[in-house]
């Protein structure tokens, strides 16, 4: 079986814990800037000493509230500075954090609270408390109290714990080892109930050390990044912990609608995101260009960026290409870099496949996106592309200390210090997820020169009535590249051919309506049958089909009159399609695709 390992020069001490870094900073470098905290339109510096003091005061409040070593404390909130303080305070109190997406339905919250045995729940605001009041009441046998972040939670807990001494904090720290559970992260649950992924302090610290060793100066002191991913997602949590470990200046925002404005003000050195955000940046820029009558210029600039990036892989761009690239750099690329704050030199993508199209485009405009791969069970990245070792279209080589193996059936197997030991109270699922010491990911992939490429998921493979195995992801990724497209779901299991459900991007529709002389209040349902719009989408489908065999090509598609959303339960908070939910919700539309005409 193909296998590759990257050696490591770092190890995690048996008695190490995540809280050690801020405590060490307070003792040795209290004035080190660790955060820029948002307050209205202003961003203020939080030093390492101030952060550590807030951790201690908050931890004392949690102890006074009855939190014991090993307890589980839930956080149900969007991304904000207090989330990270509370996370560290929970660890300082010797407990573990149960991370819950703020978009979770009450049934999901109920299951997580029950399964984890959460003893104290922290919600963001009164609206969230009200939304989940019934399930919180139902969990009263284990859940002692619910606190609200917007009710000045840091100040409230500091006051509650005023009588707790530092010696108790030291005692709590002594209960922690690298094998102590730091968090329960519940899987997205694209099918069935989510599973609780139990990650230890050693998993977090091993991941942070491995990624830092692999990426070098990208995540180093003096650099900065703006965190906007949901902190219930392991990628975001590791970004937060890794930033503290490396002395990176970290900011938080949950204002996704104004993310570009936040980039301009915060001016991050690098960005960490999921592919959908990079797609939106690209598609929004393209749509804006078309709306302003400069669509052809943008298209030529995009093609040049991709061509330039591909030429880098072959050695060096020729003189003519360099000259053309320089022109478009002034006309287009510089504006895109300015939209990301003007100081962004790198980006890291994870959580889903990025695709070589976007990878080459962003590298071509001067912001290389280093794609990585990992899961909740691996505390985020196990492989990543790195400066000087980037292969666009792959998810990189193993990070330091990690190993990748391809099983005989193509499944990707993983091993390393970041890989979890098992699911919370679920021995059957744990047993099924390991082949000896190797974690079975459920993803299908290949290794080429040590670089991993993910080609699909075992459970997502479509088998047509003719017996053809089709991976939907490459087709879906290609179609989503069109600025009018929001989401795409490829179907065809046990059907005579491959088809697709496509949704429109609400942000792109107004510009298209104006360019085509249609009323701004034209319903999406009317657009779904509009011949001009369908012709544009058909072009995107044909481009996707050109990349696969005839048997894998999409023969029919339908445009839905509503998008897939987190609220509808059709996508996860990390923008992954819940295929079974979509199949059930849109069963009639799928059957119509296969109706004889």
Structure token digits, residue 440: 């079975």
Spatial distance between the Cα atoms of 94 and 19, rounded to a whole number of angstroms: 10
∠ CA 79-82-87, nearest 5°, is 90
Spatial distance between the Cα atoms of 443 and 395, rounded to a whole number of angstroms: 13
Average pLDDT of 77-101? Answer: 97
Gyration radius (Cα) of the chain, Å = 24
- Per-residue pLDDT for 190 more than 60? no
Alpha helices by DSSP H, 519-586: 524-527, 531-545, 579-585
Count CA within 13 A, CB hemisphere, residue 63.
26
What pTM, to 2 d.p., does this model score?
0.85
E-assigned strand segments in 537-592: 554-559
Where b means 16+ CB within 10 Å and e means fewer, 473-493 reads bbbbbbbbbbbbbbbbbbbbb
Contact 473, 456 (CB under 8 A): yes
Burial label, 196 (beta-carbon count in 10 A; 0-12, 13-18, 19+):
buried
Where b means 16+ CB within 10 Å and e means fewer, 100-118 reads bbbebeeebbbbbbebbbb
- Per-residue pLDDT for 464 more than 70? yes
Lowest-pLDDT choice from 38-42, 91-95, 239-243: 38-42
- Tokens 């050693």 -> residue: 202
Across the beta sheet with 485-491, the strand order is 485-491, 498-504, 554-559
Lowest-pLDDT choice from 59-73, 386-400, 449-463: 449-463
- Per-residue pLDDT for 138 more than 90? no
Lowest-pLDDT choice from 39-48, 198-207, 465-474, 539-548: 465-474
378 closest CA partner among 200, 191, 116 = 200
DSSP string, 360-394: HHHHHTT--EEEEEEEGGGTEEEEE-BTTB--BTB
* pLDDT value of residue 1: 82
Report which secondary-structure segment, H or E, holds 487. strand 485-491
Centroid of chain to Cα 415: 21
Average pLDDT of 422-447? Answer: 95
Count CA within 13 A, CB hemisphere, residue 275.
26
The CA distances from residue 219 to 32, 246, 528, 575, in Å, are 16, 7, 45, 25
Where b means 16+ CB within 10 Å and e means fewer, 273-295 reads bbbbbbbbbbbbbbbbbbeeeeb
* pLDDT value of residue 291: 87
Spatial distance between the Cα atoms of 524 and 553, rounded to a whole number of angstroms: 26
* pLDDT value of residue 549: 81
Residues 6+ apart with CB under 8 A from 462: 469, 470, 471, 472, 490, 491, 492, 493, 498
* pLDDT value of residue 596: 64
pLDDT tens digits, one per residue of 248-270: 999 999 998 888 889 999 999 99
Spatial distance between the Cα atoms of 198 and 60, rounded to a whole number of angstroms: 25
364 closest CA partner among 422, 322, 413, 406 = 322
Question: Which one has a higher pLDDT value, 288 or 365?
Answer: 365
What percentage of the chain has pLDDT greater than the value 90? 75
Beta bridge partners of 571: 577
* pLDDT value of residue 188: 65
- Per-residue pLDDT for 576 more than 90? no
Contact 144, 120 (CB under 8 A): yes
* pLDDT value of residue 354: 85
Lowest-pLDDT choice from 216-220, 318-322, 400-404: 216-220
Spatial distance between the Cα atoms of 575 and 308, rounded to a whole number of angstroms: 30
Average pLDDT of 93-115? Answer: 93
Structure token digits, residue 460: 């997502």
- Per-residue pLDDT for 191 more than 60? no
Q: What share of the chain is helix, strand, coil (3-state, %, to 5)?
A: 40, 25, 35
pLDDT tens digits, one per residue of 304-327: 999 999 999 998 999 999 999 999
Please provide the average confidence, as pLDDT, over all residues in the chain. 93
438: helix, coil or strand? strand
- Tokens 């610290």 -> residue: 205
């Amino acid at each position: 079986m193909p296998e590759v390992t990257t050696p490591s020069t770092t190890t995690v001490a048996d008695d190490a814990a995540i809280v050690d870094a801020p405590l060490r900073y307070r003792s040795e470098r209290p004035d080190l800037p660790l955060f820029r905290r948002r307050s209205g339109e202003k961003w203020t510096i939080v030093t390492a000493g101030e952060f550590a003091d807030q951790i201690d005061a908050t931890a004392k409040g949690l102890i006074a509230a009855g939190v014991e070593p090993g307890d589980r404390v839930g956080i149900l909130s969007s991304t904000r500075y207090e989330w990270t303080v509370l996370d560290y305070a929970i660890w300082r109190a010797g407990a573990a954090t149960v991370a819950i997406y703020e978009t979770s339905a009450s049934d999901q919250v109920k299951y997580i609270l029950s399964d984890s045995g959460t003893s104290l729940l922290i919600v963001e605001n009164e609206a969230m408390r009200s939304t989940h009041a019934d399930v919180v009441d139902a969990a009263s046998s284990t859940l002692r109290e619910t606190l609200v972040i917007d009710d000045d939670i840091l100040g409230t807990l500091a006051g509650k714990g005023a009588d707790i001494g530092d010696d108790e904090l030291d005692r709590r720290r002594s209960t922690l080892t690298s094998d102590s559970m730091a968090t329960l992260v519940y899987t997205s649950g694209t099918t069935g109930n989510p599973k609780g992924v139990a990650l230890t302090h050693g998993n977090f610290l091993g991941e942070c050390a491995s990624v830092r060793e692999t990426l070098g100066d990208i995540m180093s002191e003096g650099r900065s990044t703006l965190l906007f991913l949901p902190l219930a997602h392991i990628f975001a949590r590791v970004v937060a912990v890794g930033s503290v470990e490396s002395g990176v200046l970290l900011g938080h925002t949950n204002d996704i609608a104004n993310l570009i404005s936040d980039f301009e003000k915060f001016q991050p050195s690098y960005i960490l995101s999921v592919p959908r955000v990079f797609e939106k940046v690209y598609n929004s820029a393209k749509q804006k260009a078309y709306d302003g009558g400069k669509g052809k210029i943008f298209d030529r600039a995009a093609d040049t960026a991709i061509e330039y990036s591909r030429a880098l892989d072959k050695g060096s761009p020729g003189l003519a290409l360099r000259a053309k690239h320089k022109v478009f750099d002034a006309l287009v690329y510089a504006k895109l870099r300015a939209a990301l704050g003007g100081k962004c030199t790198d980006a890291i993508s994870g959580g889903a496949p990025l695709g070589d199209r976007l990878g080459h485009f962003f590298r071509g405009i001067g912001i290389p996106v280093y794609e990585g791969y990992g899961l909740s069970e691996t505390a985020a990245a196990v492989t990543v592309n790195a400066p000087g070792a980037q292969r666009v279209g792959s998810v990189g080589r193993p990070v330091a200390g990690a190993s990748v193996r391809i099983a005989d059936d193509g499944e990707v197997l993983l091993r390393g210090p970041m890989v979890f030991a098992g699911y919370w109270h679920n021995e059957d699922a744990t047993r099924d997820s390991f082949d000896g010491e190797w974690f079975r990911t459920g993803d299908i992939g290949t290794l080429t020169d040590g670089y991993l490429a993910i080609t699909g998921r075992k459970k997502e493979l479509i088998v047509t009535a003719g017996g053809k195995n089709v991976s939907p992801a490459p087709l879906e990724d290609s179609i989503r590249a069109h600025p009018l497209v929001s989401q795409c779901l490829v179907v065809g299991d046990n059907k005579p051919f491959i088809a697709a459900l496509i949704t429109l991007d609400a942000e792109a529709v107004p510009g298209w309506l104006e360019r085509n002389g249609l009323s701004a209040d034209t319903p999406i349902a009317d657009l779904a049958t509009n011949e001009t719009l369908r012709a544009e989408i058909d072009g995107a489908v044909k481009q996707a089909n050109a990349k696969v065999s005839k048997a894998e090509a999409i023969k029919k598609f339908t445009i839905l009159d509503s998008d897939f959303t987190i609220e509808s339960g059709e996508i996860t908070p990390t923008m992954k399609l819940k295929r079974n939910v979509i199949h059930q919700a849109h069963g009639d539309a799928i059957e119509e695709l296969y109706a004889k005409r």
